Amino acid sequence: MNRRGFFATASGAVLAAPFIVTRAVAAEPQVRLRELYEKDMSFTPFARQNEGVRVAIEGFMAPPLKADSNFYVLTNIPMAVCPFCSSEAEWPNDILAVYAQRVVDTIPFNVKIITRGTLDLGTYTDPELGFVSRVRLVDAVQERA
């Protein structure tokens, strides 16, 4: 390949990159926390159909359980204290456990965020924190809304 061919190819890739990324993000289903559970606390058809799929969820970051962690709780409304649950029977339908790709920079509890990650269903007890969850996002990233 000559220099002109290389620069033409490289320029095209740079110009196309934003459109490729935008399409990938737009393809993620956007869901609300309340759309994951039925009234009887069973999982909705949406939740069951999208298990293992990357989704985007808006909410608020509850204060972390410990510093320098990749774990946090996403809540439907701002909470000044963490809604720590002791069993799956007490699991509220308006919070979501999140396991981020890296250590999380804490975002103030009253700032809306969008969290994107892979939806994981079923009871899970975090071996390090003892946090019991029924639904969570794994391999997640977050940004201010």
pLDDT 10s digits, 127-140: 988 888 899 999 99
Query: Does the structure show a pLDDT above 50 at 6?
Result: no
Alpha carbons 76 and 95: distance in angstroms, whole number: 6
Residues 53-67: b if buried by 16+ CB within 10 A, e if exposed: ebbbbebbbbeebee
Residues of the domain holding 74 = 32-144
Among 70, 103, 97, 99, CA closest to 82: 97
Helix (H) or strand (E) holding 48: helix 45-49
Indicate whether 22 belongs to any domain. Answer: no
The predicted structure's pLDDT at residue 1: 57
SS3 106: coil
Burial of 82 (0-12, 13-18, 19+ CB in 10 A): middle
Kindly provide the b/e burial profile for residues 2-17, where b requires at least 16 CB atoms within 10 angstroms of the residue's own CB.
eeeeeeeeeeeeeeee
Confidence of residue 35 (pLDDT cuts 50, 70, 90): very high
For residues 72 and 95, give the distance between their C-alpha atoms in angstroms, rounded to a whole number: 10
Residue 91 falls inside a structural domain: yes
pLDDT tens digits for 83-120?
554 445 455 678 899 999 999 999 999 999 999 999 99
Q: Is residue 41 assigned to a domain? A: yes
Residue 96 lies in a domain: yes
Mean pLDDT value across residues 60-65: 86
Domain assignment of residue 89, yes or no: yes
Q: What is the CATH number of the domain that holds 63?
A: 2.40.50.140
How many distinct structural domains can be found in the chain? 1
Q: Average pLDDT, stretch 44-68?
A: 92
The H-or-E segment that residue 142 falls in is: strand 132-144
Q: Which residue has the higher pLDDT, 68 or 9?
A: 68
Q: State residue 119's pLDDT score.
A: 98
Q: How confident is the model at residue 81 (pLDDT cuts 50, 70, 90)?
A: low
